[in-house]
Structure formats: structure tokens, C-alpha cells
Structure 1
Amino acid sequence: MTWPAAPGIGVLIVDDNPIVRAALRGILEGDDGLRVLAEAANGREAIAAARRLGPAVTLLDHRMPIADGLSVIATIAQHSAVLVLTSDDDAQLIAGMLHQGARGYLVHGEFAPPELLRAVREVAGGRGWLSPVAASVAASMLRDQSARDRDAERRRRARTQFGLTEREEDVMHLLCQGLSNASIARRLMLTEKTVKNHLNHVFAKLQVRSRTEAVVRWSDNGLR
């Protein structure tokens, strides 16, 4: 369903429940600065409406027939800022939605109408708006990314400082975790002989003669 154009921030409401859509429309239409452009009951309809109307904000549910929110959010995000509005507070889903382009995430029952209106404005303005559980997931994602960045930097330093290959770095990293040659071989899907050869090359490059010395040298350079 589509309404005539009018001034204000255009919003697309996407939810398979007509009662929820009506409630959201009532909240939004009570604000003179917002206007509901259309409603959609599933992901396929949502993509078509987003492409046709280019709403400033799309309120997107996750659990819908035909195509759920997670499967369509990346496409919708190409045409509209997406504010996920759903009853799901699963961390994996939240992470997926944020990774695929959600600018905001609110959980039904955890916000009042004034917060929804503010969230729509913030998202329309290019900012984010997250419920507490979504904010926690976002913080965890940032920590994970920071850990990946640190690991990438460690590998870069290893290549620069010791001239290790990527596979030798992998072997050395597992060696520092206390794994045996057999365990390293299973983890990296190599033969024990290949692992031993890699370690011999590592020892030569680190200028050490034993596993213990290698771990100490590696750790002393902040590479463990």
C-alpha cells in the first residue's frame, strides 16, 4: 500500500503483521516531520518498494514470509537507511543485520513511541540508533575486529622482522599455544614431517635451536 507524497522524512514500513504496521503508521503519522510512503508485508515487497520509492528510512522486521529481513537488508540498504524493528534479540541475528547494513536496531517491547521517532530521525540523518542488546553486540563486533586487526599487524611484523612465510606464521602461532607437532599438523591439515620442516625453517629465521627458545623469542617481540 502506498500513500501520496507529502513533505517530511519518508518511511517505508515492512512487517508481515498488519496490526504492527497499523500501530507503527499511527505513531509515525502523529509526527508532522515524518510521512509513511508505503507498507510491505514481506521481503520481496520491501525490495520493490525501496527501489521504487527510495525512502529515507525503512523500518524492517526480520521474521517474514517469502523473504526474511536478513536475506533482503543488504539490497534495501542500497536504497534506504535501514532501522531494524523486530522482536528478535538474538546476538547472531543482530550481528548479521549490522554487518549487512543496518543503521539501527530496536527490539519490540523495549522502546516507547518517542524513542522510535527519535531513532527514525537519527537514522535518516546518517547516524545510528541501537537498543541496549544491539549496542552490546556492536561493541563485541568492534572488539573482534580490533583483535583481527592486531593479528594482521602481528603477521605483518613477523614477515618484516623475521621473514616468515604465512604458513610458518601459522605454525609458530600454534606452537606458542603449546600444541605438539601432531596437533599442529591436524589443525593445519599437514603431515607431521611438513610441520617439522616448517619449524626447522622458523628456528633458522629466529636464530634459535629449540621450541622453548622460539616461543621466548617470539613473545619477546610481542608476537605471541
Structure 2
Amino acid sequence: MTVGVLVVDDNPIVRSALRGILDTDDGFDVLAEAANGREALHAARRLRPTVTLLDHRMPIADGLSVLNAIAQHTAVLVLTSDDDPVLIAGMLHQGARGYLVHGEFDPPELLRAVREVAGGRGWLSPGAASVAASMVRDQASRQHARVRARTGFGLTDREEDVLNLLCEGLTNASIAHRLRLTEKTVKNHLNHVFAKLQVRTRTEAVVRWTS
């Protein structure tokens, strides 16, 4: 099966070089080129390429600003000269499946990266892989801290059930119906929850529990 590719870069020389590499393999078909983010999004919507090679620094609209929208139509492999960890994290967060830095890969690696991304997998340059690993560690740390914070409130399992339904916007009557409790029991549970969370209103309870 041929992999349709959209090449996006504001530099025509870079676009030509990327097309030249892809044209060496019959498994790839360059469907179109784009010189900025706006053109890239239009082409992605129209052509639905399997993979889009997306630069970041471009006029009119840069890669990061359109990546999430483009990723709704195609798998995105970022191909840029920028190795800023903040940018890498932003690109991965917005849905990029791969990230390669110019000068850190050769033609065979590019072809392999495109194949991997086309197959639903990922491909990261060493620097991007390090950033991705840090993102995973940070996320795990935040989740662990959130769990510890919730555990520290000392809520019972039933109080957590009631509070979680409160966070969904349910009224006391609806919570009672869902959990097969009386409204008086729900109100008692909420009074205990408010005391443990040290809040006075339903809104404050939701904010404290979900923050």
C-alpha cells in the first residue's frame, strides 16, 4: 500500500530535498507541498494524506498553531531545525506522532520514520525522546501527587462516590437516585465531605477535588 505524504516547509529547497528522498521509494507518493500552516491545513483536509511532514517556523501560521487541527486528518511527523524542549513538548502534546530534527537523521532514517508513523507508531529523535520521557515522568508525578492529596482528605469510598457525582453536576436528588440512597443520607455525606475538604459550597468542593 502506498503511503500518501504531504510535505510542509516554507523553504522550497527543503521541500524539494524531502520530495527527492521520498521519490526514491515506490512505497511513498508525495501528494502535495505547502509553504505555511494555513496551506498545510487546507491540503490535509482536502487530501487526507497518510502522513504529513510538518515544519514549525513558517509564515502566516506556524506548525504548532495548526498541528492539532491537521492531526484530525493525518498522522503528523514534525520535521524542523528547532530542538527546543518546550516546543517538542508542545508538538507532542498537540498530537504529533514523531519529531525529527534536521541534521540529526539521514535519508534511510527519514523513510523508516515515515513508515513507522504511517503504521500508527511513533518516531523520535534522541532529543525529542528525552523530552517525551520527561513528560511521562512529570505526568506520573502529578497524578501521584493528586492521588496523595485526595487520600489526605480522608474521604470514605461512599463520600468519594457522592462527591464525584456532584462534580458531574448532579443534584442531591439525582445523586440519591444513582446511588440508591435517601436525599437525607446524601446531604449528610456532603456535609462530611465539605468539612474534610474545608469548603463551604458545592462549587468550592468541586474546585478543591478536581484541582
User: TM-score by structure 2 length?
Assistant: 0.73
The corresponding residue for 1:67 is: 61
The reply to whether residue 116 of structure 1 matches residue 110 of structure 2 is yes
Secondary structure of the residue that 1:39 maps to in structure 2? strand
The reply to whether residue 58 of structure 1 matches residue 52 of structure 2 is yes
Q: 2: CA distance between counterparts of 1:20 and 1:160? A: 59
Stretches of structure 1 lacking an aligned partner (at least 5 in a row) = 1-6, 163-200, 203-224
AA in 2 matched with 1:81: A
Q: 2: CA distance between counterparts of 1:155 and 1:33? A: 52
Q: 1: CA distance between counterparts of 2:140 and 2:3? A: 35
AA in 1 matched with 2:53: L
The corresponding residue for 2:25 is: 31
The corresponding residue for 1:149 is: 143
Larger Rg: 1
Stretches of structure 2 lacking an aligned partner (at least 5 in a row) = 157-194, 197-211
The reply to whether residue 139 of structure 1 matches residue 159 of structure 2 is no
Q: After superposition, where does 1:28-107 map in structure 2 within 5 Å?
A: 28-107=22-101
Deviation digits for residues 18-57 of structure 1 (CA, Å, limit 9, x no counterpart):
0000000000011011110000000000000000000000
Deviation digits for residues 65-91 of structure 1 (CA, Å, limit 9, x no counterpart):
000000000000000000000000000
Q: 2: CA distance between counterparts of 1:9 and 1:87? A: 24
AA in 2 matched with 1:40: A
Q: How many residues align?
A: 159
What RMSD, in angstroms, separates the aligned Cα atoms of the two structures?
A: 1.6
Q: 1: CA distance between counterparts of 2:148 and 2:73? A: 39
The corresponding residue for 2:200 is: none
Secondary structure of the residue that 1:83 maps to in structure 2? strand
Q: 2: CA distance between counterparts of 1:32 and 1:118? A: 13
Q: 2: CA distance between counterparts of 1:19 and 1:112? A: 16
Give the fraction of aligned pairs with identical amino acids, expressed as a percent. Answer: 76
User: Residue 161 of structure 1: CA displacement?
Assistant: 5.5
User: TM-score by structure 1 length?
Assistant: 0.69
Q: 2: CA distance between counterparts of 1:45 and 1:160? A: 54
